[in-house]
Amino acid sequence: MASPLSPARLRSSDLLRLGGTGLRARPLRAVLSSLGIAIGIAAMTAVVGISSSSQADLDRALAALGTNMLTVTPGETMMGKSATLPDTSVSMIRRVAPVLSATATGAVDDAHVYRTDKIPQAQTGGLAVMAAELGLLKTVGASLADGTWLNAATARYPAVVLGWDAARRLGNVPAVYMLGRWWTVVGVLNHVPLAPELDSAALVGWQAAGAYLGFDGHPTTVYARAVDAQVEAVRAVLGPTANPQNPNEVKVSRPSDALAAQRATNATFTALLLGLGAVALLVGGIGVANTMVISVLERRAEIGLRRSLGATKGQVRTQFVAESLLLSLLGGAAGVLLGYLVTGFYSATQDWPTVVPLWALGGGVAATVVIGAIAGLYPAIRAARLAPTEALAAA
């Protein structure tokens, strides 16, 4: 007795060709359907990208306000006297994992800065002299208006960098006079919004301050930058870290209010982006479903003929699902590319950084494929249920 015939299985390459043939048979409809999906995904990608770029610009502006910067200063002892920070406090703070950078300045109370050696010592002009670590500019976000910053060489010798207000008051001088010695002016700072005390200060190297000005090596202000999400946690440990023996003798600044505003803004942006993305995907899915339903109605004769020639219900279902997936994939890829280009153009006009999250690029294509599969499932099932004689008779 002869064994019953089993239907041939469709390979992946067969499904790809079959789905492509269905789309090529009606190119205008396929293009318009893909265009509808592409516009929806492009709108989602562009909105996500433009919002993310705007958020990146806002984060950059908020970072300039020092949202993640904390300062550590000496407090008072139990006897009401001024405390001091250990000379190891900066190195200890740098060991805290979420701390990105830490640096310090130390007040040199016995030294004053003068334009010439002819000015009476009592006329200090309110200008402070501070020892500064080499990493100060990076941590506090300062920049130079002229000259250079201290380096490993000049920090050991009589070289000084003036704050912008100190330079304005002293005038354009090549050197200043401090504690019986001339100090070469090697640079001038711009205004430092995050550390305004530096504006009216003469900054010298840590080693030079100890060698020439009698500096005791104890920092008076420690500046620390921390990971945004860990600012509060870092603040809680800065006191015990800076002065383990007497943590109650340490003052730590509170996080900036701008940090709370930044987090609230990020949460709002996230909710907005998710909502817009869901709407765009829903619109794209409806378009795919509509296209595939119409395709089934128009291709009843083809379906009946294929069934008559031995195609199984599963093969018919797979064919229409494959067409739906191809249609969605083409539209999703085109939409992501178009959305990225729109984001780049708009960001360039606004002088923003171009930021398109990877989840928006990859997720846009992946989501359209998933939506396409779901949207094409009902039309595929409907096509598979058509009896060959009914389909041919209706055609």
Please tell me the total count of domains within the chain: 2
pLDDT in tens, 217-240: 999 999 999 987 788 899 899 999
By DSSP bridging, strand 113-114 and strand 159-162 are unpaired
Does some domain include residue 1?
no
Query: Under DSSP, is residue 319 helix (H, G, I), strand (E, B) or coil?
Result: helix
| Contacts for 2 with CB less than 8 Å, ≥ 6 apart | none
Q: Is 203:130 a contact under the CB 8 Å cutoff?
A: yes
6 within a domain of the structure (yes/no)? no
Q: Among the residues of the chain, which ranges form H helices?
A: 12-25, 27-64, 89-94, 136-140, 164-170, 206-212, 231-242, 257-298, 300-308, 313-350, 358-385, 388-394
Question: Are 191 and 250 members of one domain?
Answer: yes
Looking at the domain assignment, is residue 276 inside a domain? yes
Alpha-carbon distance of 146 to 125, in angstroms, equals 22
Is residue 166 predicted with pLDDT exceeding 90?
A: yes
Q: 103 and 49, same structural domain?
A: no
Same-domain pairing of 226 and 272: no
Kindly state whether residues 316 and 232 are assigned to the same domain: no
Say whether both 105 and 196 belong to one domain: yes
Show which of 256, 290, 323 is a domain's final residue. Answer: 256
Q: Are residues 53 and 117 in the same domain?
A: no
Residues 286 and 245 in one domain: no
> Mean per-residue pLDDT for 41-69?
75
Considering the domain architecture, whether residues 41 and 78 belong to the same structural domain is answered as: no
197 vs 65, more confident: 197
- Residue listed under structure tokens 């041939």: 8
Q: Is the pLDDT of residue 164 over 70?
A: yes
Q: Is the pTM of the predicted complex or chain greater than 0.75?
A: no
Does one domain contain both 118 and 232? yes
What 3-state class would DSSP assign to 387? coil
More confident residue, 57 or 257: 57
Report helix, strand or coil for 71: strand
Overall residue count recorded for the chain in this entry: 395
pLDDT at 62 over 90: no
Q: Is the pLDDT of residue 388 over 70?
A: no
Look at residue 204 and tell me if it is in a domain: yes
Residue from 188, 187, 133 nearest 155 by CA: 133
Do 188 and 217 belong together in one domain? Answer: yes
Return contacts of 90-98, CB within 8 angstroms, 24+ apart. Answer: 90/133, 90/219, 90/222, 92/241, 92/242, 92/244, 93/222, 93/224, 93/238, 93/241, 93/242, 95/241, 96/226, 96/234, 96/237, 96/238, 96/241, 98/226, 98/227, 98/230, 98/233, 98/234
pLDDT value, residue 295 = 65
Instruction: Over range 358-377, report the average pLDDT.
Output: 76
Answer whether residue 211 is part of any domain. Answer: yes
pLDDT in tens, 69-127: 889 999 887 777 888 999 999 999 999 999 999 999 999 988 999 998 888 877 777 89
Phi, then psi, of 103 in degrees rounded to 5:
-150, 175
| Integer CA distances (angstroms), 184 to 106, 157, 215, 303, in order | 20, 9, 19, 91
Could you tell me if residue 2 is inside a domain?
no
d(CA 237, CA 253): 12
Cα separation of 52 and 280, whole Å?
17
Q: Give the domain extent around 130.
A: 69-256
Look at 50 and 313; give whichever has higher pLDDT.
Answer: 50
Among 256, 273, 304, the domain-final residue is 256
| pLDDT tens figures, 289-347 | 666 666 666 666 666 666 666 667 777 777 777 777 887 788 888 888 998 999 899 88
Are 275 and 300 found together in one domain? yes
pLDDT of residue 303: 67
Q: Are residues 86 and 195 in the same domain?
A: yes
The yes-or-no verdict on residue 133 having pLDDT over 60 is yes
Residue 26 lies in a domain: yes
In a domain, 3, yes or no: no
Of 225, 256, 287, the last residue of a domain is 256
Average pLDDT over residues 260-281: 64
pLDDT at position 1? 47
| Mean pLDDT across the chain | 81
